[in-house]
């Protein structure tokens, strides 16, 4: 007698779809293509990254321009305060903020100077990811163009374009994003956050498993009918609870009710999340407390941290200073002035006002003591 084939008591569902992973594009990303999309998704998903770009842009600070011709300098400063920069905005600061934002996020920034028929000067900033950059065979400049089909068409007035790069190297001569080397850690962090959300959804929206076990032959004969009756009554009880009413569930026989997944262990996410955030925050160059993270016993910034952050901000300033000088030089030339402009940046102040006051007091006391000693001699 042939043995009966063993029937499967469970099988995998064929209709279950994989969860959408919006922030895993970098796994199949071709090098050099698609980073901009990944960086945008990272910034929209991780608030710390968005805050880092905004804080670095604001901490870079303002500036003013000077030149030998004081009359032209006064008009130049008026131009910098009132120049139209598009999208209903005025002033060089409103041009510099999105320009710096693009510089840090994508590693490059692009703008344009426009000269209408009346001889004035207008500024526009552009999305650098929509343009391609090629070396200019005629010199040390770059050629910026738009790809139409399979051909790259250079923009007609290259001399009026404004272009800056950030962290350029041999592999990325046209700039490297601040988010470079972050996608892998961001992917892990999003997995943890997504799992936390799933666990809280399970804990908040409880699913119940109601199990009925027949005890004798009579129960076995009517097991199906009793199971359907229990399911119907349980469903009615749950519906009454949703409507705000209290309804007890009464049954006869061996009936067990348990919460699905209640015995599952929820992993501790505090340590791995902090480890990943430490890496991301370290890449931005900003101290953790600026993001609201209290990892240290003190909320003050150490002198070493201040010096490092100041050097980072000065590096950003040096990256965009040639563009600002080009804007001022073009305006002066349009108005018949051949003097060379000089960009004067505002002082970077990251220390407490009280500490600055004490430092100024100690400096004044030291100068007074030195003066008295010189007079005695």
Predicted confidence at residue 219, as pLDDT, reads: 67
Q: Which of 139, 136, 141, 137 is nearest to 164 (CA)?
A: 141
Instruction: With cut-offs at 50, 70 and 90, classify the pLDDT of residue 5.
Output: very low
**pLDDT(82) > 90:** yes
Give the DSSP H/E element, type plus range, for residue 304.
Answer: helix 303-334
Distance between CA atoms of residues 361 and 224, nearest Å: 90
Residue with tokens 């262990």: 265
pLDDT for res 138: 58
What integer pLDDT is reported at residue 265 of this predicted model? 66
Buried b (16+ CB within 10 A) or exposed e, 192-220: eeeeeeeeeebeeeeeeebebeeeeeeee
Average pLDDT in the 121-145 region? 81
How far out from the chain centre does Cα 333 lie?
A: 39
Residue 353: band (very low, low, confident or very high) from pLDDT cuts 50, 70, 90: low
CA-based end-to-end distance of the chain: 124
The mean pLDDT of the chain is: 80
Statement: residue 11 has pLDDT above 50: no
CA distances from residue 169 to 47, 135, 163, 354 in whole angstroms, order as listed? 28, 15, 16, 41
**Tokens describing residue 200:** 């809280």
Of the listed ranges 21-25, 147-151, 242-246, the one predicted with least confidence: 21-25
pLDDT at 179 > cutoff 70: yes
Instruction: Enumerate the β-bridge partners of residue 63.
Output: 345
By DSSP bridging, strand 342-345 and strand 63-66 are: antiparallel
User: Does position 302 have pLDDT exceeding 70, yes or no?
Assistant: no
For residues 139 and 249, the model is more confident at: 249
Of the pLDDT bands very low, low, confident and very high (cuts 50, 70, 90), residue 136 is low
Confidence of residue 152 (pLDDT cuts 50, 70, 90): confident
pLDDT of residue 317 exceeding 50, the answer is yes
Model pLDDT, residue 2:
46
Q: Which of 337, 347, 349, 341 is nearest to 77 (CA)?
A: 341
Question: For helices 47-60 and 92-106, what crossing angle results, to 10°?
Answer: 140
Q: For residues 290 and 42, what is the distance between their CA atoms, to the nearest angstrom?
A: 20
Residue 30 scores a pLDDT above 90: no
What local confidence, expressed as pLDDT, does residue 258 receive? Answer: 77
pLDDT at residue number 303: 66
* Three-class secondary structure of residue 23 per DSSP: coil
Query: Token pair for residue 144?
Result: 């910026």
The percentage of the chain sitting over the pLDDT mark of 90, rounded to a whole number, equals 35
Q: Each residue of 188-231: pLDDT tens digit?
A: 999 898 888 877 776 666 777 778 787 776 667 777 777 788 77
Percent of the chain with pLDDT over 70: 78
User: Taking a C-beta distance cutoff of 8 angstroms, is the pair 83, 91 a contact?
Assistant: yes
Please tell me the least confidently modeled range out of 9-13, 183-187, 188-192, 303-307: 9-13
> In the numeric block, which tokens belong to residue 242?
């949703």
pLDDT of 338? 85
Judged against a pLDDT cut of 70, whether residue 32 lies above it is answered with no
Q: Is the pLDDT of residue 95 over 90?
A: yes
Q: What is the pLDDT of residue 12?
A: 43
For the chain, give me the number of helices (H) and strands (E)? 10, 12
Nearest alpha-carbon partner for 112 in 82, 140, 83, 88:
83
Q: Of 143-157, 234-248, 263-277, which one has max mean pLDDT?
A: 143-157
Residue range 253-265: average pLDDT? Answer: 70
Looking at residue 153, what is its pLDDT?
85
Q: How confident is the model at residue 53 (pLDDT cuts 50, 70, 90)?
A: very high
- Which of 135-149, 156-170, 189-203 comes out lowest in average pLDDT? 135-149
């Amino acid at each position: 007698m042939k043995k009966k084939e063993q029937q499967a008591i469970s099988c995998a569902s064929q209709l279950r779809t994989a969860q959408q992973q919006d922030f895993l594009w970098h796994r199949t990303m071709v090098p050099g293509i698609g980073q901009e999309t990944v960086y945008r998704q990272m910034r929209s998903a991780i608030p710390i990254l968005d805050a880092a770009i905004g804080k670095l842009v604001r901490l870079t600070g303002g500036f003013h321009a000077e030149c030998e011709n004081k009359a032209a300098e006064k008009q130049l400063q008026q131009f910098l305060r009132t120049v139209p920069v598009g999208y209903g905005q005025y002033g060089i600061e409103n041009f510099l903020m999105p320009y710096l934002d693009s510089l840090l996020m994508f590693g490059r920034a692009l703008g344009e100077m426009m000269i209408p028929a009346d001889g004035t000067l207008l500024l526009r900033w552009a999305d650098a990811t929509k343009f391609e950059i090629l070396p200019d065979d005629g010199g040390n400049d770059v050629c910026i163009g738009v790809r139409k089909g399979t051909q790259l068409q250079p923009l007609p007035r290259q001399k009026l374009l404004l272009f800056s790069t950030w962290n350029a190297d041999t592999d990325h001569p046209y700039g490297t994003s601040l988010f470079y080397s972050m996608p892998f850690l961001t992917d892990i962090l999003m997995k943890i956050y997504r799992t936390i959300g799933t666990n809280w959804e399970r804990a908040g929206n409880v699913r119940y498993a109601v199990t009925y076990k027949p005890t004798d032959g009579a129960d076995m004969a009517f097991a199906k009918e009793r199971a359907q009756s229990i399911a119907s009554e349980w469903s009615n009880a749950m519906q009454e609870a949703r409507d705000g009413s209290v309804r007890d569930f009464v049954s006869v026989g061996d009936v067990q009710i348990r919460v699905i997944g209640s015995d599952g262990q929820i992993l501790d996410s505090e340590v791995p999340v902090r480890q990943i955030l430490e890496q991301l925050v370290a890449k931005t160059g900003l101290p953790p407390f600026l993001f609201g993270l209290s990892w240290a016993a003190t909320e003050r910034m150490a002198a070493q941290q201040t010096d490092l952050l100041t050097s980072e901000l000065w590096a950003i300033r040096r990256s965009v200073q040639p563009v600002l000088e080009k804007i001022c030089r073009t305006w002066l030339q349009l108005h018949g002035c051949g003097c060379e402009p000089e960009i004067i940046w505002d002082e970077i102040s990251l220390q407490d006002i009280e500490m600055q006051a004490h430092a100024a007091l100690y400096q004044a006391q030291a100068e007074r003591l030195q003066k008295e000693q010189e007079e005695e001699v």
